[in-house]
Amino acid sequence: MGERKLWSGEPVGGNPFALPRGPLGVAAGWVLARANRRQQAEILEALAPGHYRSVLEVGCGPGVLLDLLASAPGVEEVAGVDPSRQMVSMARRRNAAALRAGRLRVHPGSAGATGEPDAAFDLVVTVNTVAMWPSLDDSLAELYRVLRPGGRAAVSWHGASSRFALTDEEDARVLAALRRRFGAAERRELGSAVLFEARR
């Protein structure tokens, strides 16, 4: 992220991990698939996705969590969106069987514009994307829009032990923005991540 001021409305710029593009973006996708696997497994356990029929992952990257979600018992529909066309392609290749079976679909989209219909999902999850959203409030409004009444929003970021961890002020801003949009929200520390949760 460099010196970029969070949630300033600025684009993410040339960081290959923020918006993977071209050959360097493909390499970044392989790194992300390895580096985030432990955190994604923790998120999956914390969310107990079998309680949700339809799930959207925002910023699905190379599709590791999509694979776990599409394989979870009780989950009937999984969708993934990512602003990087390279990541959409990688996620589709990783999850080719689920795509063919009609259990999964993946397409370009962002936290601020998922391209999904209103009130379509029981669970919306995003891992390690919140600090790269140009607008915190606009993106949370989009997550709220695509959730069904009673649906759950789960926003995860690197934990306190990571060099990418949010500052205390940034952490508080995420929680406050969720509470403004959803009315109530909670924050949990997991082994390698922080998880912010709210229900519509």
pLDDT in tens, 53-95: 999 999 999 999 999 999 999 999 999 999 989 889 999 999 9
pLDDT in the model for residue 182: 98
pLDDT in the model for residue 3: 44
pLDDT in the model for residue 1: 40
Residue 184 lies in a domain: yes
**pLDDT per 10-residue tile (average), the chain, 200 residues:** 55 56 57 68 86 94 92 93 92 95 96 97 95 93 98 94 90 97 96 94
pLDDT in the model for residue 162: 84
Residue 119 lies in a domain: yes
3-class SS string, the chain? CCCCCCCCCCCCCCCCCCCCCHHHHHHHHHHHHHHCHHHHHHHHHHHCHHHCCEEEEECCCCCHHHHHHHCCCCCCEEEEEECCHHHHHHHHHHCHHHHHCCCEEEEECCCCCCCCCCCCEEEEEEECCHHHCCCHHHHHHHHHHHEEEEEEEEEEEECCCCCCCCCHHHHHHHHHHHHHHHCCCEEEECCCEEEEEEEC
Residue 15 CA to residue 102 CA, distance in Å, equals: 33
Residue 83 lies in a domain: yes
Which domain covers residue 111, as residue numbers? 37-199
Residue 21 lies in a domain: no
pLDDT in the model for residue 163: 85
The pTM of this model reads 0.87
pLDDT in the model for residue 4: 45
Residue 22 lies in a domain: no
Report the domain count for the chain: 1
Supply the angle between the helices 22-35 and 85-94 in degrees, to the nearest 10: 50
Residue 60 is part of a domain; what is its CATH number? 3.40.50.150
Instruction: Kindly report the backbone phi and psi dihedral angles of residue 169, in degrees, each rounded to the nearest multiple of 5, phi listed first.
Output: -65, -45
Residue 26 lies in a domain: no
Residue 128 lies in a domain: yes
pLDDT in the model for residue 148: 97
Residue 10 lies in a domain: no
